[in-house]
Amino acid sequence: MSKLEDIVSLCKRRGFIFPGSDIYGGMAGTWDFGPLGVMLKKNLMDSWWHFFVEKRDDMYGVDAAILMNPRTWEASGHTATFADPLVECKECKSRFRADKIADGITESVTTEEFLNTHTKCPVCGKENWGPIRKFNMMFETHVGAVLPDDNAELADKNKAYLRPETAQGIFTNYKNIVDTIYPDLPFGIAQQGKSFRNEISPRDFILRDRECYQMEIEYFVKPDTWEENFEKMRALQHDFLTNVAGLKSEDIHEYEVPTEDRAHYSKRTIDFMFDYPNGEEELMGLAYRTDFDLANIARESGKSMEYRDKKTNETFVPHIIEPSIGVERLFLAVLSTAYTEDEIDGEKRTILKLPSHLAPYKFCVSPLLKNKPELVEKAHEVYNLLKEKYTFVTWDDSGNIGKRYRKQDEIGTPKCIVIDFDTLEDDTVTIRDRDTATQIRKKIAEL
């Protein structure tokens, strides 16, 4: 099995991630997070929020609605340009994202350029392609009690989209925040939430999904200071990825995106690429969006987006630096980094070497023997004490102690605490370390 297959299998076996709607045969591009996945994901999202919002004086949070007035997507350019190059095999009718099946082409590929790559259909192996068509990735819906069959005109008027990025919920609240909080420039607005994209080919486990969580910041700066703020934000992202998410610096590669490949709103973009088990892929992006969004909103809404400098009284439309990361991509990067196989006393084991602040559980408490009531009672006492103090504590009295260690290693629990007969005598417990498998004894009062 490849490393990615090992990770997928561990995620299912231990309750991190299941295929979406699995019981009905699944739904491509959707995934359900199980009890341990929810805990790890929440720890990641909370760590991001703490690092970028709570710890700082220049960041504010919002939680905007997913359904937004469709004018949002007209103004942002998504209705017109948020599209991928779709190509269909005329032989077997399979559809693909052209730039993902051919080498050396980009999202803006033309039919002629694609045909020149002489790519064979990944499904039937033939080379008989239709033209490249632009496929808009926004999911459409209709708001209110109207069916397209009843009244096509009204249904069209009530058309809405599931947001394809959380960013627009930030831009549309920029004026609300300036008018209520009066922040000094530069300041940022952060949001975490679901985004939806009708991806042509979802793939690589949770790397390319049809719905994903994004964590985005729009950082508003004076136009002539964008370059220094861009560099600061770039360093800050690296700091978060390595020191908080625990990724290795050597697995992260910054890629300066050339003009022709940048999103329609960006004047400069750096993609942070990560060495995933199946190869290098985009983990996150950092873009200089200029005043593109605020200027569009001002035009579409007729409301001024100007900021008045409190000291100089000067007015201008701020420019924007945007770091944007998908939680699922970060989750997979963290799992790929943590996933390790080694051997202890001639026995193979799998460990998730997660940083302890991200691990679903910090401690596992168990009695050495399940059938000795005095050990079980003492172990419950220790469990309740730790649960009160650290919250993320689990109980395990299944199987033998070796099996419990293997299970806790696989879900990334840093410390296993075992209550044995000595505990009853001297109030000490065994603490076993996940990464080194070494054991020490400590007084319960010192835990």
| Chain positions contacting ligand GAP, by CB under 6 A | 165, 167, 197, 199, 208-209, 212, 214, 216, 282-285, 322, 324-326, 328-329
Please name the amino acid found at residue 19: P
How far apart (Å, rounded) are the C-alpha atoms in residues 371 and 399? 11
CB of 182 to ligand GAP, least distance (A): 26
CB of 166 to ligand GAP, least distance (A): 7
Contact 401, 366 (CB under 8 A): yes
For ligand GAP, which residue has the nearest CB? 326
Cβ proximity to ligand GAP, 221 vs 375, nearer residue: 221
Cβ proximity to ligand GAP, 329 vs 378, nearer residue: 329
How far apart (Å, rounded) are the C-alpha atoms in residues 63 and 192? 7
* Burial of 11 from C-beta contacts in 10 A (0-12 / 13-18 / 19+): buried
Cβ proximity to ligand GAP, 328 vs 420, nearer residue: 328
Cβ proximity to ligand GAP, 174 vs 383, nearer residue: 174
CB of 61 to ligand GAP, least distance (A): 16
How far apart (Å, rounded) are the C-alpha atoms in residues 121 and 55? 50
Instruction: Lay out the sheet containing 393-395: strands in order across.
Output: 393-395, 363-367, 415-419, 428-433, 439-443
Contact 261, 107 (CB under 8 A): yes
CB of 259 to ligand GAP, least distance (A): 16
Cβ proximity to ligand GAP, 165 vs 409, nearer residue: 165
CB of 137 to ligand GAP, least distance (A): 9
CB of 264 to ligand GAP, least distance (A): 11
Cβ proximity to ligand GAP, 113 vs 282, nearer residue: 282
Burial 139-166 (b: 16+ CB within 10 A, else e): eeeeeeebeeeeeeeebeebebbbbbbb
Residues listed for the chain: 447
Contact 255, 234 (CB under 8 A): no
CB of 212 to ligand GAP, least distance (A): 4
Cβ proximity to ligand GAP, 282 vs 306, nearer residue: 282
Residues with Cβ within 8 Å of residue 113, at least 6 apart in sequence: 105
CB of 273 to ligand GAP, least distance (A): 10
Cβ proximity to ligand GAP, 75 vs 429, nearer residue: 75
Cβ proximity to ligand GAP, 167 vs 294, nearer residue: 167
Longest dimension (CA), the chain: 81
Residues with Cβ within 8 Å of residue 286, at least 6 apart in sequence: 230, 233, 234, 237, 269, 270, 271, 272, 321, 322, 323, 324
CB of 33 to ligand GAP, least distance (A): 14
Residues with Cβ within 8 Å of residue 96, at least 6 apart in sequence: 86, 87, 88, 89, 121, 122, 200, 201
Contact 375, 420 (CB under 8 A): yes
